[in-house]
Amino acid sequence: MILWSILIGLFAAIVIGMPISFGLAAISLFIFYYADYSLTPIVSEAINGLDSFPLLAIPLFILVGEVMSEGGIAKRLVRLASAMVGFVSGGLGQIAVLTSMFFGGISGSAVADASAVGSMMIDPMKRHHYPAPLATAIIVAASVVGIIIPPSIPMILYGVVTNTSISQLFLAGIVPGIIITLALAGTTFLQSKKIGKAQPFDILELAKALRGAILALLLPVIIVGGILSGVFTPTESAAFALVYALVVSMFVYRSLSAKRFFHLCIATGKLTGVVMLLLAFANVLAWLLTANMIPQELVETLTALSDNKFVILGILTLFLLVVGFFMDLTPAMVILAPLMTPVVVNLGIDPVYFGVLMSFVLGIGLITPPVGTVLYVGCGVGKVGMEELVNSLLPFYLTLLGLLALFLVFPGLVLWYR
Amino acid sequence: MKVKSENTFQASMQLLRTTLEITIGLLVLGVVFCVVANVFGRFVLNYSFVWAEEISRIMFIWVVLLGAGLASLNNEHVSVTYFKNLVSSPIRKAFGIISVGVIYTVCLCILVGFMQIVSGYVSVTPLLQIPKTLLYSAMPMMAVLTLIANSIALFKLLERSPT
């Protein structure tokens, strides 16, 4: 009954267009009423879900991304990417893909990636005879890298709700992130090779661009290196990265004022509120699910279908792809990760591997219609219609699905560090 | 007279939003300060500020719930509008009214749940012994802000012609 209440309730919330977070709370309240619970867990369990130190990494990483974007970092990363790959045919497209990877190493968010890189790259691409839908499609597809390359906000959420090591999730994301970047660069090359080069190769320009961007490039190294070496926890590394980003933006690049920084703090707080309210109410639901042994029931139901872990993993992946069509990444992650992870762990599948896979599949959902946050951002930034953008995205969807199959067949690509 | 009262209402709402924004900005700065202080203490002074972690978590909870309340006032919560936009205007209005009704119920239940918690024994935080009421009170605050936003949404829905 509980599982059906959740499915029907979520479906109803999606159809009538009510905020998903309040939909989750309403489903919990319905179950409370049905099972004769008191109303206290709607407050206490929601607060318990938020009372976690690792979660503090999320606003801090959001703020690091905001500070670096505002502080002129994105401009410098574009210049470096131009010097590195601008001489390749369809060079501007390659620059956009590479910049997305660099930027993903700072922001940890596909939406931030698409809006920051898109607002800088789409107009120059249009001027270089890229059709607007193709230019936007490249930016939108490349933004998926932002949540696989560490740091990654979805991976932090997964780590918190499933009690999995965030450091290991970040480590596991490095190789798949690089593979996705290369594959998208390949697809971009095939789609835009006739458009021509952005600029000739110039070693002096490369050296200058590298010098200009070196302080920015050190940031992902600090974040990832600090976590992987065990010196920092993810939250501490986010704090350190923020101090570094502030020093660079305020005193070296001199492009961020204290007043502007305060405005960025406000923007971060608002965004954190939207994302984390989902987590708070999903935690109430997760508490209900655990109290009623629903994950165990789900394990039994799925293992009754098949005891082959690849079949189950395939079913779950397919389910997540379908969910991605209709639901944003954050609610899908916080609702489904606590339900699915016990199933895969029971089958002997590594939770770190599943976390990266889940982030990737739901990341694809961000760029697929009818509900895709990054798709909407792309339409806005690129000033293109949804239909033409989706048409231009088709080769990129194929590439991403091919990569998904690759990661399913070769889990070692994700668990490369073991 | 109507215009004057509308202007007063708009000005009060703007004042509420600005106050919330400044509070949220200060709380985010507080979280940053506490976490950075802890990192500094651990790596430079070789000393862990135990208070910093607990205070930062409390401030984070308030950031989230005041941020969520502000998001309610600004209508910025994550929702799927695709299906709602496919249907005719009267059905969309009906969806809007159902949504408002559900959110009213959720917020009122939160207020009742909070009252039930504080009427019983409330534990304290492990290190600083701060009563957890301070943490839980962020939730009714969010609920009240959402109730205000919801009432405005309901007013707009009923005011708008269905055609």
pLDDT at position A287: 86
Cα B98 from Cα B79, distance rounded (Å): 14
Q: For A311-358, how does the pLDDT look when each residue is reduced to its tens digit (9 = 90+)? A: 999 999 999 999 888 778 888 898 889 889 988 998 899 999 999 999
pLDDT band for position B163 (50/70/90)? Answer: very low
Task: Tell me how far apart the terminal alpha carbons of chain A are, to the nearest angstrom.
Answer: 41
Q: Map residue B131 onto helix, strand or coil.
A: strand
What ipTM goes with this model? 0.92
Strand partners for B124: B131
Residue numbers in A near B31 (CB within 8 A): 56, 59-60
pLDDT at position B148: 96
Cα A361 from Cα A319, distance rounded (Å): 10
Q: What is each CA distance from A408 to A315, A329, A401, in whole angstroms?
A: 12, 20, 10
Cα A146 from Cα A365, distance rounded (Å): 14
Residue numbers in A near B89 (CB within 8 A): none
Residue numbers in A near B68 (CB within 8 A): 21, 273-274, 276-277
More confident residue, A242 or A72: A242
- Token digits of residue A418: 């073991």
Q: Residue B1 pLDDT more than 70? A: no
pLDDT at position B152: 94
- Token digits of residue B63: 């950031």
pLDDT band for position A397 (50/70/90)? Answer: very high
Helical spans, DSSP H, in A199-350: 203-228, 234-247, 258-291, 294-305, 309-326, 329-346
pLDDT at position A300: 82
Q: For B11-24, how does the pLDDT look when each residue is reduced to its tens digit (9 = 90+)? A: 999 999 999 999 99
Q: Output the CA angle B109-B114-B120, nearest 5 degrees.
A: 130
Contact across the interface for B32 and A265, Cβ inside 8 Å: yes
More confident residue, A285 or A169: A169
Q: Output the CA angle A141-A146-A148, nearest 5 degrees.
A: 105
Residue numbers in B near A63 (CB within 8 A): 28, 32
Of all residues in chain B, the one with the smallest CA distance to A279 is: B64
Q: Residue A165 pLDDT more than 80? A: yes
Cα A127 from Cα A369, distance rounded (Å): 27
Identify the H or E element spanning A402.
Answer: helix A386-409
Contact across the interface for A59 and B63, Cβ inside 8 Å: yes
Asked if residues B67 and B141 have their Cβ atoms less than 8 Å apart, the reply is no
Residue numbers in A near B84 (CB within 8 A): 15-17
Helix, strand and coil in chain A, % to nearest 5: 80, 0, 20
pLDDT at position A159: 94
Q: What is the DSSP letter of A56?
A: G
Cα A126 from Cα A92, distance rounded (Å): 10
Asked if residues A151 and A375 have their Cβ atoms less than 8 Å apart, the reply is no
Q: What is the DSSP letter of B124?
A: B
More confident residue, A304 or B136: B136
Min Cα–Cα distance to chain B from A331, Å: 9
Q: Residue B162 pLDDT more than 70? A: no
Contact across the interface for B95 and A56, Cβ inside 8 Å: no
Q: For A120-129, how does the pLDDT look when each residue is reduced to its tens digit (9 = 90+)? A: 788 878 877 8
Q: For A55-70, how does the pLDDT look when each residue is reduced to its tens digit (9 = 90+)? A: 898 899 889 888 877 7
pLDDT at position A347: 87
Helical spans, DSSP H, in A143-257: 153-162, 166-192, 203-228, 234-247
pLDDT band for position A83 (50/70/90)? Answer: confident
Of all residues in chain A, the one with the smallest CA distance to B31 is: A56
Torsion of CA A354, A359, A361, A366, to 10 degrees: 170
More confident residue, A257 or A380: A257
Cα A56 from Cα B36, distance rounded (Å): 12
Average of per-residue pLDDT across A139-145: 93
- Token digits of residue A213: 């961007």
Average of per-residue pLDDT across A280-287: 88
Peptide bond preceding A151 in cis form (omega within 30 of 0): yes
pTM to 2 decimals?
A: 0.85
Min Cα–Cα distance to chain A from B77, Å: 6
Min Cα–Cα distance to chain B from A77, Å: 26
Q: Residue A266 pLDDT more than 60? A: yes
Contacts of B92 (CB under 8 A, 6+ apart): B84, B85
How many percent of chain A have pLDDT more than 90? 36
Find the CB nearest B28 among A59, A236, A240: A59
